[in-house]
Amino acid sequence: MVYPPGTVALVDEERVGLVLMHLGRDIDARLRRQLSTAGLTPRHGFTLSHLCDNGPTSQQSLLDVLDVDPSVLVAILNDLENAGLAERKRDPEDRRRHIVVMSEKGRVALTGMHSAMNTIEQEMLADLSPADATQLRELLLKVRPPAGTSPCSGD
């Protein structure tokens, strides 16, 4: 790097922020590629993951967690329903609400996402010892997630 006078002198590789950006983008692309054969995107996977973690959920609360536009969630759920991975049911207590339920087929699809991620992580962490990998995990969990951003905003 050329260090001109008065310039912050930092190569990309020295910046934790940039490294995280690049790794994150790459993992996203790899997961997207792996899921594409099933016609899904990472965001479909996150939605299934949340349904698996929390059981049947209203669209409203999915919106909070996924932090996407309502119209985007509609498209996601349409895809999942068309693929038979989830289903919308009317909430009898308030007929405006939809309760979203993951199907057994959705469970299988979610398993597929996790095994795709297993593969990706194995490749990524190939040069780290098990102790390093553990420590990396712990350190990453200490990184402060930015205010107002949810973990599932991805597409």
Partner DNA sequence: TATTGTTATACTCTATAACTATA
Partner DNA sequence: TATAGTTATAGAGTATAACAATA
Contacting residues toward a second copy, per CB under 8 A: 1-2, 4, 6-8, 10-31, 42, 46, 49, 52-53, 55, 107, 110-111, 114-115, 117-118, 120-121, 123-128, 132-133, 135-137, 139-146, 149, 151-154
Question: What is the SS3 assignment for 144?
Answer: coil
DSSP code at position 26: H
Per-residue burial over 5-22, b if 16 or more Cβ lie within 10 Å, else e, is eeeeeeeeeeeeeeeeee
If contact means CB under 5 to 8 A according to the sort of partner, which of DNA, a second copy, none does residue 77 touch? DNA
117's contact among DNA, a second copy, none, with CB below 5 to 8 A by partner kind, is: a second copy
Which of the choices DNA, a second copy, none does residue 21 contact, using the CB cut-off of 5 to 8 A by kind? a second copy
Member of 97, 101, 124, 150 binding DNA (CB under 7 A) = 97
For position 54 contacting DNA by CB under 7 A, the verdict is no
By the rule CB under 7 A, 55 interacts with DNA: no
DSSP 46-57: HHHHHHHHH-SE
Instruction: Give me the least distance between CB of 30 and DNA, in Å please.
Output: 14
**Residue count of the chain:** 155
Is 71 a residue that touches DNA (CB under 7 A)?
Answer: yes
What number of other Cβ atoms are within 10 A of residue 129's Cβ? 9
Segments in the chain forming alpha helices (H): 16-36, 42-54, 59-66, 70-82, 104-124, 130-142
Q: Which does 101 bind (CB under 5 to 8 A by kind): DNA, a second copy, none?
A: none
Backbone angles phi, psi at 50, to 5 degrees: -65, -40
Residues contributing to the site for DNA (CB under 7 A)? 41, 43, 58-60, 63, 68-75, 77-78, 88, 94-98, 154-155
